[in-house]
A and B are shown apart, each in its own frame.
Chain A
Amino acid sequence: MKKLLSLAVASFAMAAVAVPFSPTIGVTQVTTTNKNTIVAVPFNSLADGGNMSVTNLVCTNGLDNGTHIYVFKGGKYKAWTLDAANGWTALDTVSGNSDLAVPSAGDDLVASPGAIWVVLPSAPVEAKTFSIYGQYAAITETTITTGANNLVANPLQSKAVVGFTGNPVRGDAIIIPQDGTPESYTYGKKGWTSDGASATLPNIEVGQGFWYVCNSTSTVTKVTWTPVTP
């Protein structure tokens, strides 16, 4: 058989291409001993890097049926419940609680660094661990709305020291929920106090948070988060 080996006269393009990387994905384990836990939304959507749906944020593995997620929007709580067959399912009827409202389209989306509530069916006998995940975003501060109750949570992947941009004023308060009486800190002449005694604000665990009650005269515009150094 005859062979003819000839030249491709046409020009051709040759180029090196970069090794492709996906955006950075974060998986954070949240451990709680409480039935009610404020949980951070430190990530963005896997799909488009935009606001995160809470139904995608909280991994269902490790959680029991009847666990609830609450999003605080428009002064109302919107809830999703964990159903074994269907995963996170929006509560479609609400009665007997004026603080609750049926979720509307888009209510499941929370901008990072936001926060939500995770409410277990009962207080765990042993510490409960579950995972949140999404597209990593480098976040070190949370914007505060003056004159409002702000649900904030530690967006870092480590225990964090709480700081502020601006100055707290008398009447500002931090309320860290826990089963039973919450852990409260109020700001006054002596600075931060707890049960009337001067206090240092506690470090906040990974993925967890608190209410920041911001007085209308407060100049706090942001809560800042700094990793606890070992």
Chain B
Amino acid sequence: MKKTIAVIFALLSAAVFAGMNDLLITFSTPGVDKYADGKEVLEGERYALFFTDAEGKLGEEPVLVYRTKAAGRCTPVLFIIDEKVAEEKYKDGTWGVYLLDTRDFEKNANGDELADDPEVGEKLEYSVKALATDAKTIVKKSMDSASATVAVSSDSFDIPKPTVTAIKVEGAYVYVTVKDIVPCLEYTLKSGSDVQNFAVPEGVEKDASSTVKEITLAVPKKEGAQFFKVTTK
């Protein structure tokens, strides 16, 4: 069967560097999205995010490929790119989202079935630094990125402020339990001896939730007053 390739920009939008200089991007489509032949996009179809540099050169590889969770639209996806990577690779350019038509016309003459697509699969074998646990691997199956520090999907991305539900002071550590978290997004504690200056203390590790609703973060206890903020960086 003859290969047909049609690429059209859906929309380009300049990326905005969010607070703390990490690049946080969300995208979605309102739908109903359709393939070139007019059929509604299948659930599980891939959408790809590409970067175009300041000279107008389209990236050779997608920055992110995402399998949508609903038919007919790209469900909301958020991803974060470390500020250093963003500065090096994604400065002064624009972004575009593409629908990748991966229907399997050989298995199904009507093209109403997505292919188990080894070719695309190979092409999309990018590393995602944040993916480690089994739960996160599930996310990896539906989303791959060469650059994302972390990538998550949800019904919406009004990212809630994390809420501290409990604090324990035990031994040399303060343990902080946090809810209202976005699964797979990494959270950490910033600490300070006053309310003006916060920093991640040495030795404090980030943590992320997979499916649970709460996480507990630990930070070394210090003498006197100590202040904390929970954040994603």
Do B195 and A61 touch across chains, with their CB atoms under 8 A apart?
no
Do B19 and A8 touch across chains, with their CB atoms under 8 A apart?
no
Do A8 and B10 touch across chains, with their CB atoms under 8 A apart?
yes
Shortest CB-to-CB span from B215 to chain A, Å, is 12
Do A4 and B36 touch across chains, with their CB atoms under 8 A apart?
yes
- By beta carbon, the residue of chain B nearest A5 is B5
B94-102, B128-136, B202-210 - the one binding chain A:
B94-102
User: From residue 1 to 54 of chain A, which have CB atoms closer than 8 A to chain B?
Assistant: 1-29, 46-47
Q: Pick from B27, B221, B229: contact of A14, CB below 8 A.
A: B27
B15 sits at the interface (CB 8 A): yes
Shortest CB-to-CB span from B102 to chain A, Å, is 8
Q: Pick from B10, B169, B195, B226: contact of A7, CB below 8 A.
A: B10
- Say whether, besides A19-B231, A22-B163, A27-B167, A7 and B6 are in contact (CB < 8 Å): yes
Q: Report the separation of the CA atoms of residues A161 and B98 in the bound assembly, to the nearest whole angstrom.
A: 64
Q: How many A-B contacts at CB < 8 Å in the complex?
A: 205
- Say whether, besides A19-B232, A46-B165, A46-B166, A6 and B101 are in contact (CB < 8 Å): yes
Do A13 and B28 touch across chains, with their CB atoms under 8 A apart?
yes
- By beta carbon, the residue of chain A nearest B20 is A19
With a cutoff of 8 Å between Cβ atoms, the chain A residues found around residue B5 in the complex are: 3-5
User: From residue 1 to 58 of chain B, which have CB atoms closer than 8 A to chain A?
Assistant: 1-11, 13, 15-20, 22-36, 41, 47
A165 sits at the interface (CB 8 A): no
B115 sits at the interface (CB 8 A): yes
User: From residue 121 to 141 of chain A, which have CB atoms closer than 8 A to chain B?
Assistant: 131, 133, 135-136, 138
Do B167 and A4 touch across chains, with their CB atoms under 8 A apart?
no
Q: Report the separation of the CA atoms of residues A134 and B23 in the bound assembly, to the nearest whole angstrom.
A: 31
A100 sits at the interface (CB 8 A): no
B155 sits at the interface (CB 8 A): no
How many chain-B residues does the 8 Å CB contact rule pick out?
83
A162 sits at the interface (CB 8 A): no
Q: Report the separation of the CA atoms of residues A27 and B159 in the bound assembly, to the nearest whole angstrom.
A: 26
B164 sits at the interface (CB 8 A): yes
With a cutoff of 8 Å between Cβ atoms, the chain B residues found around residue A7 in the complex are: 6-10, 36, 98-99
B88 sits at the interface (CB 8 A): no
Q: Report the separation of the CA atoms of residues A92 and B8 in the bound assembly, to the nearest whole angstrom.
A: 73
Chain B 200-233 per-residue mask, 1 if CB under 8 angstroms from chain A, else 0: 0000000000000000000001011111111111
Q: Which 9 A-B pairs have the closest CB atoms?
A: A7-B8, A157-B225, A16-B16, A8-B99, A22-B230, A4-B101, A6-B36, A12-B29, A19-B19
Residue pairs across A and B with Cβ atoms less than 8 A apart, 25 shown, are A2-B106, A5-B6, A7-B6, A8-B74, A9-B34, A11-B29, A12-B11, A13-B27, A14-B13, A16-B26, A17-B159, A18-B18, A20-B159, A20-B161, A20-B232, A21-B231, A22-B163, A23-B229, A25-B176, A28-B224, A47-B163, A59-B167, A136-B227, A157-B224, A158-B225
Interface of B toward A, CB cutoff 8 Å: 1-11, 13, 15-20, 22-36, 41, 47, 73-74, 78, 95, 97-106, 115, 117, 119-120, 157, 159-170, 174, 176, 178, 194-195, 221, 223-233
Other 14 A-B pairs with CB < 8 A, given A11-B29, A13-B30, A28-B226: A1-B117, A2-B1, A3-B120, A10-B32, A10-B73, A11-B10, A12-B28, A17-B78, A20-B231, A21-B161, A25-B167, A26-B226, A133-B169, A138-B195
